[in-house]
Amino acid sequence: LCATSITYPYILIKSRMQLKQSKNENERYKSLVDGLRKVVAEEGIAGLYKGIESKLLQSVLTASFLFMSKEALFSYAIKLLLIVGARKSLATSK
């Protein structure tokens, strides 16, 4: 969440630069720094974080699914190792 909060202004400016911008040359973002300055001047600091709620939700859900998948994979791996180990011990005891 911290990384998302830090990098979000960059992502916002980058995506705005990729969109078709105004025909007025003065309104266009010429660089990242220019975009940051214009957003802060026109929308304030809060403008840099406009729409961050959905990005944070995406980050939380992604992390949740990642941890859930890791735990499930770990559990299945342990079960598989126990089965393989049990078969080996049965084969050596015969």
Residue 83 pLDDT > 80: yes
Give the tens place of pLDDT for each residue, 8-20.
999 999 999 988 7
For residue 40, count other CB atoms closer than 10 A to its CB: 14
Q: Which amino acid is at 38?
A: K
Tokens of 20: 């078709």
pLDDT of residue 28: 86
Give the tens place of pLDDT for each residue, 20-75.
777 887 788 889 999 999 999 999 999 999 999 999 999 999 999 999 999 999 99
Closest CA relative to residue 51, chosen from 1, 12, 2: 12
